[in-house]
Amino acid sequence: MYPLSWVTGKDRTVVSDNQRGAGQLEAPERAIGYQDLAGLRILVVGASSGIGEAFAIAAQARGASVALAARRIARLTPLADSLHGFAYELDVSQPRAIEATVASASAALGGLDVVVFSSAFLPFAHVHDTDAATWVHAFAVNAVGASHLLRAALPYLSQSSVILVASSHDVGRPRAGVAAYNASKAALDEVLRSWRGEHPELALIRVAIGPTEDTEILRGADRDLLAELYRAWKEHGQIPAQMSAVADVANTLASLVAAARDNPSVVPESVILAPRRIG
């Protein structure tokens, strides 16, 4: 989630848009040997960067056919082309756009076996500086958008389909400067509980994802505010010693999908992915 090098200014490897467009952001070698998603038709929403992008790459390497949706179609199209998939421009705060995208993706793939929601809106602001429009948009994307995606996908889901929704490791652990994000993710968790209660036939996996490298979650944020927030997070022990690698997160998500498909009488309803310190 929070790539601390963006805050501290420490050097890190950056994959450029040109590299992504040229298909140079590749799946780890260990993923290529797996074919546990072979033949699955997967719609990934929020696939233009970060965890969604990495998941799409991992899923295709493991045999899946993919349809990708996100707002930034200029970034999404080269990725979809490199994966022999389909790209759709989508703002998940717009319900009718979700419905159209799901219908088009299902038609292109011939149905949907897996739906993954990784879109997120994270506005950085102190709670007293967060205006009503920001609160509304956070809930529209992070909670309502996810729920409406499930609603729109229902008619197109195959038997033993899997739905995976990315939530946050920080829910229930207040962190300065992200009130609208955390509150909307908490709402998302409650929405998913309602979906499970009313649709126990769905294999619905909620994954709380901890701090992860090489995402764009800080894109566009005020650097002075981030530096201030970073000091507050550090003071309260909220800075991990090490973050999860985005490819590791993506491959773990892919394995969760494969496990749910292969074991239809069991569903990992709620999973936490936390960074592990290595070395």
Q: What is the pLDDT of residue 18?
A: 42
**Whether pLDDT at 30 is above 70:** no
240 confidence band (pLDDT: 50, 70, 90): confident
Determine the average pLDDT of the residues in 167-195: 93
Whether this model's pTM surpasses 0.95: no
Determine the average pLDDT of the residues in 78-107: 98
Q: What is the pLDDT of residue 2?
A: 44
Instruction: Provide φ and ψ at 164, rounded to 5°.
Output: -120, 125
Determine the average pLDDT of the residues in 249-264: 95
Determine the average pLDDT of the residues in 178-193: 96
Instruction: Provide φ and ψ at 244, rounded to 5°.
Output: -70, 145
High-pLDDT (> 90) share of the chain, %: 71
Q: If you average pLDDT over every residue of the chain, what do you get?
A: 87
Handedness of CA 174, 177, 180, 182 (dihedral sign): negative
234 confidence band (pLDDT: 50, 70, 90): confident
**Whether pLDDT at 27 is above 60:** no
User: What do you get for the CA distance between the two ends of the chain, in Å?
Assistant: 21
Q: The tokens 């773990």 sit on which residue?
A: 252
Q: What is the pLDDT of residue 23?
A: 40
Q: In what order do the strands lie in the sheet with 157-168?
A: 86-89, 65-70, 41-45, 112-117, 157-168, 203-209, 270-273
Query: Taking the domain 8-273, which CATH number applies?
Result: 3.40.50.720
Secondary structure class of 18 (helix, strand, coil): helix
Quick one: tokens of 278? 């290595």
Determine the average pLDDT of the residues in 163-176: 90
Q: The tokens 């649709």 sit on which residue?
A: 199
Q: Work out whether strand 112-117 and strand 86-89 pair parallel, antiparallel, or are unpaired.
A: unpaired
CB atoms within 10 A of CB 198: 9
Q: The tokens 């992008």 sit on which residue?
A: 53
CB atoms within 10 A of CB 22: 11
Give the DSSP H/E element, type plus range, for residue 226.
helix 223-235
**Whether pLDDT at 111 is above 70:** yes
113 confidence band (pLDDT: 50, 70, 90): very high
Secondary structure class of 155 (helix, strand, coil): helix
Secondary structure class of 168 (helix, strand, coil): strand
Determine the average pLDDT of the residues in 241-263: 94
**Annotated active-site residue in 88, 156, 181, 230:** 181
Rounded to the nearest 5 degrees, what angle is found at the Cα of 266, between the Cα atoms of 264 and 272?
125
**Are 52 and 119 contacting, i.e. CB atoms less than 8 angstroms apart?**
yes
230 tagged catalytic? no
**Whether pLDDT at 3 is above 50:** no
H helix count then E strand count, the chain:
11, 7
The CA distance from 14 to 111, in Å, is: 35
High-pLDDT (> 70) share of the chain, %: 86
